[in-house]
Amino acid sequence: MTTKTETLNFNADVSRLLDIVANALYTNHDVFLRELISNAADACDRLRYDAIAKPDLTKDNPDFRIHIYKEENTRTLTVIDNGIGMNHDELVENLGTIAKSGTAALMEQMKDEKDPLKLIGQFGVGFYASYMVADKVTVVSRKAGDKQAWVWESDGRTGFTIREATKDETKTLDGERGTAITLHIKDEGCEFLIDEKVKQTIETYSDHIDIKIFQNTPADTGKGEGKPINSASAIWMRSKNEITPEQYTEFYKHISHGFDEPLMTSHWRAEGKIEFNALLFIPTMRPWDLYDPGRKNTMRLYVRRVFISDDLEGLTYPWLRFVRGVIDSADLPLNISRESLQFNPVINKIRSSMTRRILSDLDKLSRDDPPAFFTFWGQFGPAIKEGLYDAAEHREALFKICRFFSTHDEGDKFVSLENYVSRMKEDQKDIYYISGENMNMLKNSPQIEGFKSRGLEVLFLTDTIDDFWLQQVHDFQGKTFKSVTKGDIDLADDQADENEEKDTDDSNCGKLIEELKTLLREDIEDVRISKRLTDSPVCLVAPESGVDMHMERVLKVHQKYQGNIKPVLEINTGHMLIKKLAELAEKDPANDDMKEAGLLLLDQARIIQGQPLSNPAAFAQRMASFMERGLG
Ligand code: ADP
Ligand code: MG
């Protein structure tokens, strides 16, 4: 028999990854074993599922298992599974390219990452971790049901070869199907030629895998079954008090590929109308692709311990896409396609019940472990807030866990809405907020001056998502969300007490307002006397009928909004500058200074708000000429 050997190149992304794997000064080599075993277990899971419809696929051996053999003379370690296997095209595709969305973005991120392997693991290109310990990898594989087996081989540099397997090579496989991966161990990986090291590593990383793993001895020894080195029981089916925190962490790492610890672990059995076991984790670190639109749900769905899918749409809400874990239900049919499963009403019920549980566990975490909750909110808050408009049925529970910065804590401590409401002023009706990208800018916004001086709390909303949910959600416990940069907020009437002594004389400003209106009519909808300013001379606000100004900008960026609303200019009649201008307007409205000052004031208001100036050069000139006169 002559077999043709094809030589193919890795695609560019793989090459760059391999470069990182090979060059990373990384001490934790163990990871490769975790990745290979996790792939082997996945392959078994997938065949177990396919065999429900086609039992012939496993007729050579209905049991699934993994073997690990060490060969001293050749310095090799081989991981063998009798899972689904790969055919020629799958070997080329799966081990030669990265077919994942967001690859480019990941590469970009890797450049600046001190420990790029952290990201590799999360990205799930685990197979290439083999090259941390091996300088050559040989993969023999036969897809279940196929006649032909194939050999893929590569030194992990530029490319790989692929050819038909010889009879002898096929013997490496366990029965008629599956994959055998042989690592030619290099010096950096020599500890993995020590049996005890391999055993320990598997115990650490893979004990919970529900497929038996055998080391150096075949599963069938001729004298009955050999002894697996893992306990091979599905951890999520076991009772909570049998499981140590370390075991939970291992399992988390197995399913998340993460290097972090779980921030929160929820393990429960739902009983009643619908029954399922759930073991869910919230990561400590935000996954790199949390905001990548291509990111899929990552919850693993099992039906009576048979793995069904890890990207079933509808199993979780998109805004809980960072939650990792396993759902195992006996209420779903096994013999149904993954596609139609998506529309099964049981899935909806599982989602509702699971969501309620996660949200109530998070609420509990906020009370039991505030620092952990603080971390959680910092990492995942913006994603959670998507739920406010996406899932009205969970809104109440979501509001319980939502946190905001506010004027009351100088913007460095989170407050909950309940907190806000509990310290509202007696006659305060609304929940005040200001939104923008930049916390520092918000803290110093002229629009909040009046609120601060009256002791009214204003929430700082700095996530883009805030402008979206606020369009849908109008109140919390009957208190309306009200933007402080919009409409004519009548603080003076609300809180008539404190600022009485302030020297304002609104009656003198009629002429000034008239002049400014004419002068700025191209850019400004109206000019009026402000009740929200205390220190600054002017500010811009959105008209009552319009969209909040920051929201308008955000919506435009997202092409959700076309309009062009002119803002309202508010003037502070208590400010010296405005007083002087008012006098000037009375005496000599045609004066050039009048016009220049009006234009300057508008630009100043824009700058404070972080808005672009229509003519920065003109602004600079005007400013310089005023300064010159001021100094001279
Ligand atoms: P991931 O497991 O996240 O997809 P990997 O780099 O670990 O990424 O593996 C790439 C792909 O190669 C897998 O998705 C799978 O299709 C295939 N693969 C790897 N190992 C095996 C195996 N032992 N049996 C069958 N397919 C495998
Ligand atoms: Mg993998």
pLDDT category of residue 324 using cuts at 50, 70 and 90: very high
Q: So what's the pLDDT on residue 101?
A: 59
The C-alpha atoms of residue 285 and residue 282 are separated, in whole angstroms, by 9
Q: From ligand 2's centre to the CA of 617, what distance in Å?
A: 57
Q: From ligand 1's centre to the CA of 85, what distance in Å?
A: 10
Q: So what's the pLDDT on residue 309?
A: 85
Q: Please determine, for residue 112, whether its predicted confidence score (pLDDT) is greater than 60.
A: yes
Ligand nearest to the CA of 141: 1
Q: So what's the pLDDT on residue 332?
A: 87
Q: Which of 469, 257, 272, 282 is nearest to 365 (CA)?
A: 282
48, 127, 146, 173: residue to mutate for ligand 1 pocket, most atoms within 8 A of CB: 127
Q: Please determine, for residue 499, whether its predicted confidence score (pLDDT) is greater than 50.
A: no
DSSP character at residue 539: E
Q: Which of 542, 377, 558, 543 is nearest to 465 (CA)?
A: 558
Q: So what's the pLDDT on residue 116?
A: 63
Ligand nearest to the CA of 310: 1
* Ligand 1 pocket residue status of 279, Cβ below 6 Å: no
Q: So what's the pLDDT on residue 213?
A: 95
Task: Give, using CA atoms, the residue closest to atom 9 of ligand 1.
Answer: 127
Q: From ligand 2's centre to the CA of 337, what distance in Å?
A: 23
Q: How far is CA 179 from the centre of its chain?
A: 34
Q: So what's the pLDDT on residue 232?
A: 83
pLDDT category of residue 27 using cuts at 50, 70 and 90: low
What's the average model confidence in pLDDT over 420-441?
Answer: 92
Ligand nearest to the CA of 122: 1
Nearest atom within ligand 1 for CA of residue 39: 20
Ligand nearest to the CA of 130: 1
Longest pairwise C-alpha distance within the chain: 112
Task: Give, using CA atoms, the residue closest to atom 23 of ligand 1.
Answer: 40
Nearest atom within ligand 1 for CA of residue 127: 6
* Ligand 1 pocket residue status of 40, Cβ below 6 Å: yes
* Ligand 1 pocket residue status of 585, Cβ below 6 Å: no
Alpha-carbon torsion (602, 605, 606, 607), positive or negative: positive
Q: From ligand 2's centre to the CA of 244, what distance in Å?
A: 25
At 491, give phi and psi (nearest 5°): -65, -40
The C-alpha atoms of residue 284 and residue 273 are separated, in whole angstroms, by 33
* Ligand 1 pocket residue status of 235, Cβ below 6 Å: no
Beta bridge partners of 514: none
Residue 427 is encoded by which pair of tokens?
């006659």
Q: So what's the pLDDT on residue 494?
A: 47
Q: From ligand 2's centre to the CA of 521, what distance in Å?
A: 63
Q: From ligand 2's centre to the CA of 140, what distance in Å?
A: 17
pLDDT category of residue 264 using cuts at 50, 70 and 90: very high
Across the beta sheet with 475-476, what order do the strands follow? 415-416, 403-406, 458-461, 431-435, 479-483, 475-476
Query: Who wins on pLDDT, 585 or 499?
Result: 585
Nearest atom within ligand 1 for CA of residue 123: 3
Contact (Cβ atoms closer than 8 angstroms) between residue 198 and residue 68: yes
Crossing angle of the two packed helices 116-123 and 12-23, in degrees rounded to 10: 130
The answer for 90, left when phi > 0, alpha when psi is -120 to 50, beta otherwise, is alpha
The C-alpha atoms of residue 581 and residue 573 are separated, in whole angstroms, by 10
The C-alpha atoms of residue 501 and residue 80 are separated, in whole angstroms, by 85
Our CA dihedral for 158, 164, 166, 171, rounded to 10 degrees, sits at: 90
Task: Give, using CA atoms, the residue closest to atom 8 of ligand 1.
Answer: 125
Q: So what's the pLDDT on residue 135?
A: 94
Q: So what's the pLDDT on residue 329?
A: 93
* Ligand 1 pocket residue status of 83, Cβ below 6 Å: yes
The C-alpha atoms of residue 345 and residue 347 are separated, in whole angstroms, by 5
Length of the chain: 632
Q: From ligand 1's centre to the CA of 257, what distance in Å?
A: 13
Distances (CA, A) of 402 to 284, 377, 384, 405, 416: 18, 8, 8, 11, 6
Around Cβ 268, how many Cβ atoms within 10 Å? Answer: 16
Q: Please determine, for residue 495, whether its predicted confidence score (pLDDT) is greater than 50.
A: no
* Ligand 1 pocket residue status of 289, Cβ below 6 Å: no
Q: Please determine, for residue 497, whether its predicted confidence score (pLDDT) is greater than 50.
A: no
DSSP character at residue 97: -
Contact (Cβ atoms closer than 8 angstroms) between residue 456 and residue 479: no
Task: Give, using CA atoms, the residue closest to atom 3 of ligand 1.
Answer: 124
**34-92 pLDDT, tens digit each:** 889 989 999 999 999 999 999 999 999 999 999 999 999 999 999 999 999 999 999 99
Give every CB contact of residue 119 below 8 A, 6+ residues apart in sequence. 106, 109, 110, 113, 288
Q: How far is CA 16 from the centre of its chain?
A: 24
Ligand nearest to the CA of 87: 1
Nearest atom within ligand 1 for CA of residue 178: 24
Contact (Cβ atoms closer than 8 angstroms) between residue 529 and residue 582: no
- Fold observed for domain 404-631: Four Helix Bundle (Hemerythrin (Met), subunit A) (1.20.120)
Q: From ligand 2's centre to the CA of 120, what distance in Å?
A: 11
Q: From ligand 1's centre to the CA of 254, what distance in Å?
A: 14
Q: So what's the pLDDT on residue 54?
A: 94
- The amino acid at residue 463 is D
Spell out the SS3 assignment of 213-246: EEECCCCECCCCECCCCCCCCCHHHCCHHHCCHH
Confirm whether 240-369 and 404-631 share one CATH topology: no
* Ligand 1 pocket residue status of 174, Cβ below 6 Å: no
Q: Looking at 59-68, 99-108, 285-294, 401-410, which range is the least confident one?
A: 99-108
Q: From ligand 2's centre to the CA of 607, what distance in Å?
A: 51
Q: Please determine, for residue 278, whether its predicted confidence score (pLDDT) is greater than 80.
A: yes
* Ligand 1 pocket residue status of 98, Cβ below 6 Å: no
Q: From ligand 2's centre to the CA of 124, what distance in Å?
A: 6
**366-376 pLDDT, tens digit each:** 999 999 999 99
* Ligand 1 pocket residue status of 180, Cβ below 6 Å: no
Contact (Cβ atoms closer than 8 angstroms) between residue 331 and residue 346: yes
Return the half-sphere exposure (C-beta side, CA atoms, 13 A cut-off) of residue 317.
25
Task: Give, using CA atoms, the residue closest to atom 1 of ligand 1.
Answer: 124
Q: So what's the pLDDT on residue 224?
A: 67
Q: Please determine, for residue 119, whether its predicted confidence score (pLDDT) is greater than 70.
A: no
Q: Which of 230, 43, 39, 75 is nearest to 143 (CA)?
A: 43
Give every CB contact of residue 333 below 8 A, 6+ residues apart in sequence. 303
Strand ranges in 362-420 using DSSP code E only, listed in sequence order: 403-406, 415-416
At 469, give phi and psi (nearest 5°): -70, -30
- 1-16 in b/e burial notation, b at 16+ Cβ within 10 A? eeeeeeeeebeebbeb
Q: So what's the pLDDT on residue 496?
A: 44
* Ligand 1 pocket residue status of 129, Cβ below 6 Å: no
What's the average model confidence in pLDDT over 233-243?
Answer: 91
Q: From ligand 2's centre to the CA of 35, what distance in Å?
A: 5
The C-alpha atoms of residue 245 and residue 572 are separated, in whole angstroms, by 60
Percent of the chain with pLDDT over 70: 90
Q: From ligand 2's centre to the CA of 302, what distance in Å?
A: 18
* Ligand 1 pocket residue status of 124, Cβ below 6 Å: yes
Residue 392 is encoded by which pair of tokens?
């009205």
31, 42, 140, 183: residue to mutate for ligand 1 pocket, most atoms within 8 A of CB: 42
**431-479 pLDDT, tens digit each:** 999 998 888 889 989 999 999 999 999 999 999 899 889 988 999 999 9
pLDDT category of residue 159 using cuts at 50, 70 and 90: very high
What is the helix (H) or strand (E) element at residue 387, kind and residue range? helix 370-390
Q: From ligand 1's centre to the CA of 42, what distance in Å?
A: 8
Beta bridge partners of 148: none
**350-363 pLDDT, tens digit each:** 999 999 999 999 99
pLDDT category of residue 500 using cuts at 50, 70 and 90: very low
* Ligand 1 pocket residue status of 86, Cβ below 6 Å: yes
Contact (Cβ atoms closer than 8 angstroms) between residue 603 and residue 619: yes
- The amino acid at residue 174 is D
Q: From ligand 2's centre to the CA of 481, what distance in Å?
A: 46
- The amino acid at residue 107 is M
Query: Who wins on pLDDT, 160 or 123?
Result: 160
* Mean predicted lDDT score pLDDT of the chain: 87
DSSP string, 277-296: EEEEEEESS--TTTT-TTPP
**200-218 pLDDT, tens digit each:** 988 877 777 889 999 998 8
The C-alpha atoms of residue 491 and residue 502 are separated, in whole angstroms, by 14
- The amino acid at residue 32 is F
- Fold observed for domain 240-369: Ribosomal Protein S5; domain 2 (3.30.230)
What's the average model confidence in pLDDT over 285-296?
Answer: 77
Q: Please determine, for residue 621, whether its predicted confidence score (pLDDT) is greater than 50.
A: yes
Q: So what's the pLDDT on residue 298?
A: 79
Q: Please determine, for residue 170, whether its predicted confidence score (pLDDT) is greater than 80.
A: yes
Q: Please determine, for residue 501, whether its predicted confidence score (pLDDT) is greater than 50.
A: no
Please state the CATH superfamily assignment of the domain spanning residues 6-231 in this structure. Histidine kinase-like ATPase, C-terminal domain (3.30.565.10)
Q: So what's the pLDDT on residue 85?
A: 98
Q: Which of 198, 197, 155 is nearest to 66 (CA)?
A: 198
Give every CB contact of residue 293 below 8 A, 6+ residues apart in sequence. none
Domain edges within the chain: 6-231, 240-369, 404-631
Residue 410 is encoded by which pair of tokens?
């100088």
* Ligand 1 pocket residue status of 173, Cβ below 6 Å: no
Spell out the SS3 assignment of 107-149: HHHHHCCCCHHHHHHHHCCHHHHHHHCEEEEEEEEECCCCCCC
Task: Give, using CA atoms, the residue closest to atom 20 of ligand 1.
Answer: 39
Contact (Cβ atoms closer than 8 angstroms) between residue 396 and residue 335: no
